Structure 1
Amino acid sequence: MIKLKALALVVLAAASPLAIAAAAVPDTVPGHVRQTKPAIYRFTVGDAKVTALSDGTVPLDLHQLLRGAPARTIDELLARSFLSNPAEAPINAYLIDFDGRRILVDVGAGDLFGPGNGGRLLEALAAAGAAPETITDILITHVHTDHSGGLTKAGKIVFPRATVYAGGADIRFFSDATNAAKTGIDKHFWTETEQTLTPYVTAGRVKPIEADGEILPGVRAELHPGHTPGSAFYSLTSKGQTIVFVGDVIHSGTVQFPRPDVTITFDVHQNEARAARQIAFKRFARDRALIAAPHLPFPGVGHIAADGSGYRWYPIEHIDR
């Protein structure tokens, strides 16, 4: 197990130290060149302009984190995609320009993972021509640090005009520190929620989502508890076209598409998270839905289709003209 010196991937860490990366983040990974420019990718959904934003990547020890499959099975599935453990996990966020609003879906890890591990959202926003003060709405798929950590920087609000939407059950769960002891989950989840979400609550800029329904024109929220108590999907529809931002219904596509029964340590309620994924995959495959996922290879946008007892991922067509 290789430990990160200052990182420990705090948002995703369990009570024991995570085996995820080297003590110092290397400038290169064998076979790869370190990304120096922020990654963005633009596409449209009806009249909506959507920009995928990379907050960076972090390495995860899937042997330690995935539940329901032995290490040899994980290695076999990784090898099919020419990957090995630990595997690199993207952190994707999404910018939506639509109906006079500028919306972010998730905000990355901010500075909470340490230098070189995520925290590139503001660079990506700048590359996309979107200043933080122009963001009107932020849709948090769930209150984990790699999705909400970018709300603040050095304890200060980053998006001064934005209204933040998140599942009410998540806000209550991660605002009550007694839940750490009750669930056995590391208490850093709660201290980080205090750091990132509370300033917006104090400013009156948080709207809890308590039921499925439209929260903005053309944007619908659906609650899918399991990974966290208030995990949410957000569907954007324009001119008959729809994209669904699915949050952490999946972490490792290489393993969990062929084996959707496999869960991950970060799932607060393992059985509910498994069921939510299986139901969602079946629905997305049936409906040929376009989905956007924060931990699939950038830009994390595409379709899934049934493949035997599991599923297969088809990334969005790349267009460069």
Structure 2
Amino acid sequence: MAFLPVPLRRCTAAEFWQLLCAAIFLSAAALPLPARAAAFAEHQAPGFYRFYLGYFEITALSAGTHPFPIHEVLTKTPATPAEPVPLDQAAPGKANALLAESNLTVPVQESINAFLVNTGTKLILIDSGAGALYGECCGQLLNNLRSSGYSPEQVDEIYITHLHADHVGGIAPGGKIAFKNAIVRASRADANYWLDAANEKKAPPLLTGMFESERAALTPYVKAGKFKPFAYGDTMSPGIMPMPTPGHTPGHTSYQVESDGQKLLVWGDVVHVFQIQFPDPAVTVAYDSDARGALAERVAIFSDAAQKGYLIGAAHISFPGLGHVRARDGNFYWVPANYDGSPKASD
């Protein structure tokens, strides 16, 4: 059967645009849809960093970060025998200006770092973070310890630089022993101060609330016979020596770790805000037990570390808190350690 020709006609402008839109729609429908992005992860990677110091394996562990109240707690300790004054009062604008040089503004996140030392015969943790005492922000040490390949049960000893909550709180989150096989060590001077109720009664108001936190962390270990304060000169683990650095607390201690001629100083709270305290070591903190003593220790350690070049493990410098002190033109500087993505043990 023959098809009869259909007469053609010119379409109107409205019909033309309808046909064009339909063609574009059908063409787009035939194309594959772009893949949707994955949901936001919302978390940092596990906070651990490993390196070797001679024959020792060192793992820096993050316990978390928190906003440090710079304008509330930084003080200036004058050279003459006088009481520290708030930094914002002694030098208005200085804190903000020094932070701006590092492209920072308030609030500044302060790291809370700890260091795990595997000597080959012992596993020793230096400091433990805040546990639950600062809230969820700063109780990440146990998770990061496990992520690094170790368990809390493997830790043999815990050396505490000083008995402030953000260093000792992690040993007993919620008042329960977290390291069931570990002995906790701290200087006798710090233990005598923080565990004495008489000192709590006469302490400045800013320090009074700290006593309860320290007791809450230590009490489970005291009851279990696992808290053993040391005197300087006592035998510790081979390769680790406690160094008295009082001022921030009466028994503040730094730990010298040495293996095969290499040296690391875990210095606790010698520095809180390095962007401010390196340019001006006389900037102290309101909760120093002895601000002038803390200042003297800071300058002495800066000078010694700059001259001898050993590595520093810092509790409150941006994770992993590892670096060197350098001096130039009469000023001290912090130089972060170079990142090593493939650490290897010494032969």
TM range (shorter): 0.7 to 0.9
AA aligned opposite 2:214: T
Give the aligned partner of residue 19 of structure 1: none
Superposition RMSD in Å:
1.4
Give 1:12's aligned residue.
Answer: none
Q: Deviations over 1:30-54 (max 9, x none)?
A: xxx9643321111000010111111
Bigger CA radius of gyration: 2
1:52 matched to 2:73: no
Q: Which residue of 2 aligns with 1:283?
A: 304
For 1:142 and 1:111, the matched residues in 2 are separated by 18
Query: What amino acid does structure 1 have at the position aligned with 2:111?
Result: P
Structure that is richer in strand per residue = 1
Aligned: 1:118 with 2:138: yes
Give the equivalent residue in structure 1 for 2:177.
157
Higher helix share: 2
Aligned partner of 1:317 in structure 2 is 338
Q: Provide the rounded CA distance (Å) in 2 between the counterparts of 1:64 and 1:211.
A: 34
Cα–Cα, structure 1 residues 239 and 191, in superposed 2: closer, same or farther, change >3 Å? same
Q: 8 Å contact 1:99–1:217 — kept in the other structure? A: no
In the aligned structure 1, how far is the partner of 2:243 from the partner of 2:218?
21
Q: 1:66 aligned to 2:74?
A: yes
Deviations 1:266-293 (A, max 9, x none): 2111111111111111111111111100
What are structure 1's unaligned runs of at least 5 residues? 1-32
C-alpha separation in 2, matches of 1:34 and 1:64: 30
* Contact 1:290–1:302 (CA under 8 A) maintained in structure 2: yes
Asked if the contact 2:262/2:310 (under 8 Å) is kept, the reply is no
Matched, 1:266 2:291: no
State whether residues 214 and 221 of structure 1, in contact with CA within 8 Å, keep that contact through their aligned partners in structure 2.
no
Distance 1:215 1:233, change over 3 A: same
Q: C-alpha distance in 2, partners of 1:260/1:147?
A: 22
- Distance in 1 (CA, whole Å) between partners of 2:292 and 2:160 is 23
Is residue 205 from structure 1 mapped to residue 213 from structure 2 by the alignment?
A: no
Distance 1:100 1:197, change over 3 A: same
1:245 corresponds to: 266
Identify which of 91, 102, 109 aligns with 1:81.
Answer: 102
Cross-structure match for 1:137: 157
Structure 2 residue runs of 5 or longer lacking an equivalent are: 1-40, 77-86, 343-347
TM-score (norm 1): 0.86
Take 1:114 and 1:290, find their aligned partners in 2: how far apart are those partners?
31
